[in-house]
Amino acid sequence: MGSGPVVVSEADHGVRLDAWLHRLPPSDADPKPAAPPGPAAPPANTPEAAAAPSAGDGAAASQAQPAEALSRRAARTLCDLGAIAVDGVLAPPEQRLRHGQTVQFAREHFARSLQLGLAVRCDAEFALVLHKPAGLAVHGGPLVDTSVADVLARHLPGAGLAQRLDREASGLLLVGPTRAALAALGAAMEQGRIARTYLAVVHGEPDFEHRTVDLKLRVTDEPRGDRPKTVVDPNGQPSVSHVTVVDRRRGAALVRVRLETGRTHQIRAHLQAIGHPLLGDPRYGDPAANERARGTFGIQRTLLHCSELRLPRPDGGELVVVDWHPEEFARLLPRLRRG
């Protein structure tokens, strides 16, 4: 069985997600367990060496081995990384499935996701798209134990980040898998040929359906994490965000934000400036609203998610990558679950 979506059968009603993944029929795309070490090679120019299998023979023997089911441990890890969704929402391994729900995954990316410790959404020669969880920094720093840049340096030398994403945010992160790919993506970004779209849950009830925020921004050197770093300033850099209301609930709304420019903390500063700061944002948010969201819905993070990337393909076409919704978003806005 290849990539999802797969509809949960009546027989699997009530089964944990990690157990359900473990029970899927084996696939050649699944990560392979490490092979046990073989015997030492015999000395060259001996009869034993002549009779020993070649590297090609070993590869053929390895390929001939039957595929194995995904281990329960690998299934749990993939869920924790954000590689599995249920009804369009990222799902934890302990979630109990219901008959008729749809489980979504990309089995061809399982091995790479487990290698990197980051869920892979697209793995092409010209672009690697990862899912970054909230709380993980993209670059190293004094208060950073590990970062996406560290992971790339360790597993993909020569790869580099083609996009920034706030530590507090989650979602799609664009990577150039090689130096040449990174240079091409950087040029496309400079030319405005890469479109980034974000979903955000904001405090308050917007009195608009669509609004373009065209406010210049200035980045300060404010070191504290509970104070704005980017402020509206008529002498700042031109900054444009297109904001569309997607869904509403009492006291909050889900908005889609398309960036025309990409300043540091642009979305957070722009939404604060129009009176609808992000829920859960310690720098730009409303402290009382954040506390209510934490107490009522268990919101412990800034509700900002990079949900879609559009970029040019080398063949002249367009690559569109869409991420699933974070569970915290669906907790506030249940209609995000596509049941």
Rounded-to-integer distance, Cα 137 and Cα 134, Å:
8
Q: Which one of 18, 87, 166, 323 is the catalytic residue?
A: 166
Rounded-to-integer distance, Cα 67 and Cα 241, Å:
48
Residue with tokens 């209609």: 335
The verdict on whether omega for the bond into residue 5 sits within 30 degrees of 0, i.e. cis, is: yes
**Tokens at residue 228, please?**
């704005």
Q: How far is CA 175 from CA 178, 204, 310, in A?
A: 9, 35, 13
Ordered alpha helix ranges (H), 45-138: 47-51, 55-64, 72-81, 110-116
DSSP output for 285-336: S-HHHHHHHHHHH---S--EEEEEEEEE-TTS-EEEEEPPBPHHHHHH-GGG
Q: Which residues contact 110 (CB under 8 A, 6 or more apart)?
A: 29, 30, 31, 70, 74, 78, 83
* 286: annotated active-site residue: no
Rounded-to-integer distance, Cα 267 and Cα 243, Å:
9
Residue 313 — φ and ψ, nearest 5°? -95, 155
Rounded-to-integer distance, Cα 199 and Cα 322, Å:
11
**Tokens at residue 11, please?**
């027989």
**Tokens at residue 57, please?**
């023979």
Q: Which residues are catalytic?
A: 166
